[in-house]
Amino acid sequence: MHGPSWPLGGSTQASALAQDWVIFTCGALGLAALVWGLIIFAAIRFRQTKNNPEPRTQNANNTALEIAWTIAPLVIVIGLFAYTYHIEAGVEALAADAPVRVSVTGFRWGWTFAYGGGPAITGNSLHPPELVLPVGETAAVTVTSSDVIHSFWIPDMLFKRDAVPGRTSTFDLTPNRLGTYIGRCGEFCGLNHALMTFTVRVVSPEDYARWRTYEATQ
């Protein structure tokens, strides 16, 4: 487990999400750099000086230019939308029969991880619970809450899903790297929101099977 820094990834969904981050960050900063450049150029070039004592022109219309800077951004955002739609569809796709099923219930201030046909792990802000998942296998994670709204967030995997009382919401998580990842509550839920953490331990399928057997005997 590493301290908060650049997200490590760690799931197939996270790789797609990271791609979206890269494209959008480059796009955003690229366009911003262009416009910042224009602003700074205009701000310096057209400042009042001895050589530029008066405005050169009072003309303030250029229809062709205005149409161009309406159409160009429109094309760009349509392209960005197509890309984002593609990425999101992949991230939110649900496998027909995920080998691991976990029900996550958030509460003030902790979590319960209930495995289908298996153990339920509960922990709170003093003793954070651990979610154990096998690497390379898809886990169907269903989140809900028993009191206020929380959010199940694994920053390294670039994903969160809200835990809303009275409704369940399911997403697939396919870990692809061994390791322990920090998780935290991503929706303000009162007093100990800051301390409402958990860990996600991604282990080999053999270790996972052993852990399930061990938990079953507890």
Partner 1 sequence: MIAPPERHDVLSWFTSTDHKRVGILYMGTSLLFLLVAGLLAMLIRTQLARPDATLLGPEAYNAVFTLHGTAMIFLVIAPFGFGLANYLIPLQIGAPDMAFPRLNATSFWIFLFGGLTVFAGAATNDGAAASGWTAYAPLSEITVSAGTGQDMWIVGVAMVSVASIAACVNFVTTAFVLRAPGMTMWRLPIFTWEMIATSLLVFMAFPSLTATLLLLFVDRHFGGHAFDPAYGGSPILYQHLFWFFGHPEVYVMILPYFGVISEVIATFSGRPIFGYTGMVLAAFAIAGLSMGVWAHHMFTTGAVNDPFFSFVSFLIAVPTGIKFFNWIGTMWGGSIRYTTAMWYALGFLMNFLLGGVTGVMVASPPVDFQARDSYFLVAHFHYTLGGGSFFALFAAIYYWWPKVFGWFLDERLGKIGFALTFLGFNLTFMPMFFMGLFGMSRRVFTYPNTGALPGLNLVASIGAAFMLAGAIVFIANVVVSARRKVPAGDNPWHGYTLEWATTSPPPEHNFDSLPPIRSSRPLWNVEHPEAPQPP
Query: Does position 188 bind partner 1 by CB under 8 A?
Result: yes
Residues 41-60 that bind partner 1 (CB under 8 A): 42-43, 46-48, 52-60
Query: Does position 95 bind partner 1 by CB under 8 A?
Result: no
Residues 17-36 that bind partner 1 (CB under 8 A): 17, 20-21, 24-25, 27-29, 31-32, 35-36
Placement of tokens 């050169």 in the chain: 56
Query: Does position 93 bind partner 1 by CB under 8 A?
Result: no
Query: Does position 216 bind partner 1 by CB under 8 A?
Result: no
User: Minimum distance between the CB of residue 32 and partner 1, rounded to whole angstroms?
Assistant: 5
Q: For residues 137 and 98, give the distance between their C-alpha atoms in angstroms, rounded to a whole number.
A: 8
Query: Does position 148 bind partner 1 by CB under 8 A?
Result: yes
Nearer to partner 1 (CB atom), residue 109 or residue 208:
109
Q: For residues 183 and 203, give the distance between their C-alpha atoms in angstroms, rounded to a whole number.
A: 16
User: Minimum distance between the CB of residue 174 and partner 1, rounded to whole angstroms?
Assistant: 15
Instruction: Tell which residue, 183, 172, 171, 180, has the closest CA to residue 202.
Output: 180
What is the identity of the amino acid at 183? G
Tokens in use for 100? 């691991």
Q: For residues 60 and 54, give the distance between their C-alpha atoms in angstroms, rounded to a whole number.
A: 15
